[in-house]
Structure formats: C-alpha cells, structure tokens
Amino acid sequence: TQFACVFSALIHDVDHTGVPNTTLVQENCHLAQVYKGRSVAEQNSVDVAWELFMDESFVDLRSVICATNEELLRFRELVVNSVMATDIMDKELKALRNARWEKAFSGVESAIDESPSLLLNRKATIVIEHLLQASDVAHTMQHWHVYRAWNERLFREMTVAYREGRAEKDPVEFWYQGEMGFFDFYIIPLAEKLKDCGVFGVSSDEYLNYAEMNRREWEAKGREVVESMVQKLEQELGPAAVPPQQAPVMEEPSNST
C-alpha cells in the first residue's frame, strides 16, 4: 500500500498534455473520446504508466512488489483510485470524497453494523486520496521559493496554451486572484485535513504553516510576481499577439484635399 502511494504520486501526471480536462473534452480529442470525457488526463496517465510497468523488462520489479496475481490486481486498484483522486475538478468525484471524509473523521459514531475492518479501510482509503492530492500540489506547502518555481512553470504552460488558442482566457487576467482563491478554498483546507488525520505526524503542522505563509506572501507580492513572469515570458516567447477583438481599427485614408 505504501509503495502504491509512492508509485501513484510519481506517475499521476505522466503524458500530461499541458491543458486541463475541460479543454480536452471541448476539443473532442482522441483521449477525451477514449475515456468518455471523464478524468481524461488521469486515466491516460494510469494507462501509460501501467503499460510500461507491465513491460517484460520489469518482471523482477513486479515480482518483488506483487508476489501473486491477486496482489497485482490489488496494487492496480490502489493506483487507479489514488490517481483518480487528483482530478479535483470532477464535482461528482469530489462530492464522494468529501462524503467519505465526513463519515470517517467527523467524530460521529458510525452505523453499528459496520465492522472495525470496514471503518479502518474507509479511513485508509480517504487518507490515501488526500495524500495524492497533496502530492499534486506539494509545492504550495513548501518554502516560498519552491512554490514560486513550480507556480511559474504552470503559468508558462497555461500561457502557451492560451497563445496556441487552446484556452479562452489569458492567465495574466486571473492569476493573482486565482491563486488567492486556490489557497483559501483548496490548499489550506487540504493541509488542515492532513493535519487532522495525522498522516504526516508532526510534519503536518509544517505543511499547514507553509501553506498559510505562502498565501500571505502571495497576497503581498503576487501582483509583482505575475508582472515579472509576464516580462520573462515575453523575452522568451515574444510579445503576446493582440486578440482580434482588441485589434486597432485602421482609418480609411481621407479623400479630401
């Protein structure tokens, strides 16, 4: 189980295309058709990684991880469930995860017909899901310079997608405020849940503290950071083209003398 968590964290973004699932679905690309528009990037990452893992060159590795076919099937089940947990935009999956969390950690006594092993398995499942979510956004819970480095990479990725016509909005228009909301409504609540379940022990406080500090520093410096990232990208990629609706209207030459 522990190795399944590590393996899932390593492969959860394999073969990522640089655009979110919503874009893949809107473009009706091959992957969106294969996975019927649900958790497209995540399912593709699992399939790509699993195909490599099952290659004959990794027979010895598989035999160490999974001694029997039953263990292999259980390992795959853990990997699939863990990677799917990183699709935080699927409202249905999110609602199911939240319901499991409330049932496992709300402090309210569970139904008397539930066995201790069932309760333990539910807690383990939800903790693993949140571990993978934390791995997906781990930069936000580390030192400011680590957060900044990965945030800039994401900004670049999304800016390139916009310039290629694969995104409707220029990231510069929403990046500062968007990060504020991301911290307030996802990152800090996630860090608080990790602290509540105690999965990281004393380090849980550290992750929450870093998340809160990065949020405060972003609020103070974020606008300047966005400006510097834009300048850096323009030096690398050239100035952004003026959108058609913003293009200046050329006046007709006057015929008067």
What are the structure tokens assigned to 114, written together? 């539930």
DSSP 14: T
DSSP 88: T
Least confident of 35-39, 172-176, 237-241: 237-241
What are the structure tokens assigned to 218, written together? 């972003």
Cα(228)–Cα(240) distance, rounded to whole angstroms?
A: 15
Q: What percentage of residues in the chain have a pLDDT greater than 70? A: 91
Asked if the model's pLDDT at residue 251 lies above 60, the reply is: no
- H-helix or E-strand spanning residue 188: helix 188-197
Q: By C-alpha distance, which of 235, 230, 245, 242 is closest to 159?
A: 230
Asked if the model's pLDDT at residue 178 lies above 90, the reply is: yes
Asked if the model's pLDDT at residue 248 lies above 70, the reply is: no
Interior/surface letters 50-85, b for 16+ CB within 10 angstroms, e for the rest: eeebeeeeeeeebeeebeeeeebeebbebbbebbbb
Cα(228)–Cα(32) distance, rounded to whole angstroms?
A: 35
Asked if 134 and 128 touch (Cβ cutoff 8 Å), the reply is no
Asked if the model's pLDDT at residue 254 lies above 70, the reply is: no
